[in-house]
Amino acid sequence: MHLASTYALSSCRIRTRGQEVAFLRMAAPYSLTSIVFLFATIGLAHAQQGNGRSAPALFQDRCAGCHGQNLEGGKASSLLDQKWAHGGDDASLENTIRNGLPVSGMPAFGTVLSDAEIRALIVFIRESATRVGNPEMRGSHPLPDGPQSSEAATYRMELVSSGFDVPWSIAFLPDGRMLVTERPGRLRVVKDGAVAPEPVSGIPDVWAHDEGGLFTVLLHPDYAKNGWVYLSFADPGEKNTSMTKIIRGRLRGNAFVDQETIFNMPRESYRESGMSFGGRLVFDGRYLFFSVGERGKVGDAQQLDNPYGKIHRLHDDGRVPDDNPFVHTPGAMPSIWSFGHRNPQGLAVVPETGELWETEHGPRGGDELNFIRRGANYGWPVITHGMNYDGTPVSSLTAKVGMEQPVRHWTPSIATCPILFYTGDAFPGWKNQLFLGSLAQQEFLRFTLDGGKISHEERVFKNRGRVRDIQQGPDGCIYLALEIPGGGGLVARIVPDRKP
């Protein structure tokens, strides 16, 4: 088959310290990138067809007469106790809504509701039932006194340092000091639990609004030799615009000096949206991986000609590796490693294998834990297990050929955030396992993995604060950056419970 169609050309640039790469938004004639764009457009059109009435409104119109206005039951059973007589998985709920239950008198709604509206109803019902059965706590409990037990370890929680304003990230210096970023734009130095009275000087201006701010602090793997410290942040543009940016520099006294730009974009591409920055950084020993959220423009995550909704991979100095999946694809940003993400909030590398894992925020529901593969498409917004914040559907699809499925997803949203593969010796029962923290539900979860799948899951604790970061300390203990709802933040440490 000969494809002779052409596209109008427009140019754009990606700036990195190592090189400035020019590329075309669309290539002509058709190339691999063009085909990717074509199929992404088809998928996006399918997703956009799903936009319809909000799920709460649909429920009141179609379901409340029998199941109660608050899903509490009436003529028909309650939907809040999750005792599903005809199956409780998504496929069973969809079948019940679409085809009805003639024996019990429930009508079929498959001819009056779109696929996307049915999907949104399922999310709404599951979200409502989960919140009633496990209501979200509005506040946090203080750190517990005494030993705490999990399935594989007994531990204590200790306060390391407090008084932070939304602590976002932690890094450990070889001399025993700790670096902590505060989202408003300050880098703090902590020594023996005491926070230095003045923040590190020389930090660039930060767009600290909505979800923007100063994000990750990360040391170079060879920090002892080169002294490089990496920062990601929301860089302010003009007229209230911003964009995720990555720099590196060195600490000299209490100043951040020798600064170099590792990744940024032309200021004319900055956006007004205050959401979905991504901003997580991780090294796999050689390459720097980082996340950029979709920034509120649904659909960009499926297009390879922009940085949004992607995980990127660069050399430590900002150069693009020659073996990146799209580096030779006309029209594609060469730094892209994977795409189809909404708002990637956690990145972690398995030290022994180099495997990359990621967490990301869905919209209303559909938070994900993903195993990241080179060049793979993770589906947003063509496939999703969530719905829009206003209750309207995003898409009728939760799976599609050529798009990756999450290893685990959550509805309602727990606001998945940092992840860590624990490799220390302080907790032998936790070694080589994955830990995940959440914001909205304030959960600290443990996963045993087997071949890219979860073989076991445990909630270690809940409601100690919004978990912004998880790091393994030089002592083998686990350190947490906790944002306390209502104000304040702290760094806590999980230590083994030593028998007297």
Model pLDDT, residue 388: 92
Question: Between 106 and 440, whose confidence is greater?
Answer: 440
Residue 12 has pLDDT above 80, yes or no: no
Q: What is the CATH classification number for the domain harbouring 242?
A: 2.120.10.30
* pLDDT band at residue 193 using 50, 70 and 90 as cut-offs: very high
| Domain-embedded: residue 174 | yes
| Domain-embedded: residue 477 | yes
Question: Between 90 and 420, whose confidence is greater?
Answer: 420
| Domain-embedded: residue 379 | no
Cβ count within 10 A of residue 140: 18
Residue 34 has pLDDT above 90, yes or no: no
| Domain-embedded: residue 105 | no
| Alpha carbon distance 337, 233 (integer Å) | 20
Domain interval for residue 202: 148-362+413-496
In the block, tokens 């063509």 appear at: 382
Model pLDDT, residue 180: 98
| Domain-embedded: residue 337 | yes
Q: Are 433 and 131 in contact (CB under 8 A)?
A: no
Residue 17 has pLDDT above 70, yes or no: no
| Domain-embedded: residue 429 | yes
Model pLDDT, residue 72: 77
Cβ count within 10 A of residue 42: 11
Q: How buried is 142 (Cβ within 10 angstroms: 0-12 exposed, 13-18 middle, 19+ buried)?
A: exposed
Mean local confidence (pLDDT), 382-404: 94
| Domain-embedded: residue 228 | yes
| Domain-embedded: residue 57 | no
Give whichever of 26-30, 127-131, 215-219 has the largest mean pLDDT: 215-219
How far is the first Cα of the chain from the last one, in angstroms, to the nearest whole number? Answer: 76
| Alpha carbon distance 264, 240 (integer Å) | 17
Mean local confidence (pLDDT), 149-175: 97
Q: 100-104, 142-146, 182-186, 246-250: lowest mean pLDDT where?
A: 100-104
Model pLDDT, residue 41: 44
Model pLDDT, residue 429: 96
Question: What is the percent of the chain with per-residue pLDDT over 90, rounded to a whole number?
Answer: 68
* pLDDT band at residue 2 using 50, 70 and 90 as cut-offs: very low
Give the CA angle between residues 280, 220, 205 to the nearest 5°: 55
The total of structural domains in the chain comes to 1
Q: 35-39, 111-115, 335-339, 413-417: lowest mean pLDDT where?
A: 35-39
Write down the pTM of the prediction. 0.84
Model pLDDT, residue 118: 87
Count of alpha carbons within 13 angstroms of residue 404, beta-carbon side: 23
